[in-house]
C-alpha cells in the first residue's frame, strides 16, 4: 500500500457539498491499495503511520507520534498514487488494486487506524471528493509498505 501523509492543522472531505469527514490537528492520509496488497500491508501501514514521529515535542523537535498527541486522522482513498508516467505524459494506473479490492483494503486500513487508538474520519471510495486542508509545517511524507 502507498500513502501520502500530511500533518495538518485541519482537514475536511466533501462530496456533493456534504461534509463526510473532518478533523482538527492530525494527519490527512491519502491511501492507495496496490495489486497484490493484502490485510498484512494495510496493518503494517496503519501501525507505521500511527507511530510516525512527525509532531513537535516541547523542545520543538519532530519527536511525537499521532498516538502521543491525541490527534485524528482523515483517510481518503486516492488510486492516483499508483500513477505510472514512465511511458509518456498520460498516467497509467494498472498497478493499483482492482476497485473492489481497493475499497475493501481502504476500509480495512481505516479500521486498523481506529484499532491503533486513532480517531479516524473517512472520505467515500470512488467518489469525486473535494479535500481541503491546512498543511502544518508543511510536513508531507510518502510511505509504501
Note the pLDDT of residue 92: 95
Please confirm, yes or no, whether 79 is among the known catalytic residues. yes
Q: Catalytic one among 55, 79, 109, 125?
A: 79
Q: What is the pLDDT of residue 98?
A: 97
Catalytic residue among 19, 35, 80, 93: 80
Give residue-wise pLDDT tens across range 98-130: 999 999 999 999 999 999 999 999 999 999 999
Whole-Å CA distances, 51 to 55, 65, 77, 113, 125: 11, 5, 21, 11, 25
- 140 a catalytic residue: no
Q: Residue 15's pLDDT is what?
A: 97
Q: Number of H helices and number of E strands within the chain?
A: 3, 8
CA dihedral of residues 140, 73, 46, 70 (deg, nearest 10) = 100
Among 19, 55, 69, 78, the one annotated catalytic: 78
Sequence ranges of the domains in the chain: 2-144
User: CATH: 3.50.80.10, 3.30.559.10, 3.90.1150.10, 3.40.50.300. Which one for 2-144?
Assistant: 3.50.80.10
Mean pLDDT of 5-20: 98
Q: pLDDT for 38-73, tens place per residue?
A: 999 999 999 999 999 999 999 999 999 999 999 999
**Cα 47 to Cα 12, 14, 24, 84, 99, distances in angstroms:** 23, 27, 21, 27, 24
Rounded distance, CA 90 to CA 112, Å? 34
The pTM score is 0.96
Amino acid at each position: 500500500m502507498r500513502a501520502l501523509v500530511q500533518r495538518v492543522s485541519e482537514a475536511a472531505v466533501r462530496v456533493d457539498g456534504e461534509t463526510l469527514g473532518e478533523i482538527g490537528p492530525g494527519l490527512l492520509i491519502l491511501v492507495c491499495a496496490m495489486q497484490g496488497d493484502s490485510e498484512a500491508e494495510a496493518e503494517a501501514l496503519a501501525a507505521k503511520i500511527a507511530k510516525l514521529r512527525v509532531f513537535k515535542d516541547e523542545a520543538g523537535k519532530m519527536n511525537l507520534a499521532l498516538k502521543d498527541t491525541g490527534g485524528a486522522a482523515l483517510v481518503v482513498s486516492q488510486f492516483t498514487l499508483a500513477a505510472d508516467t514512465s511511458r509518456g505524459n498520460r498516467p497509467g494506473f494498472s498497478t493499483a488494486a482492482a476497485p473492489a479490492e481497493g475499497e475493501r483494503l481502504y476500509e480495512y486500513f481505516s479500521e486498523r487506524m481506529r484499532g491503533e487508538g486513532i480517531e479516524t474520519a473517512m472520505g467515500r471510495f470512488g467518489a469525486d471528493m473535494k479535500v481541503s486542508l491546512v498543511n502544518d509545517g508543511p510536513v508531507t511524507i510518502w510511505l509504501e509498505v
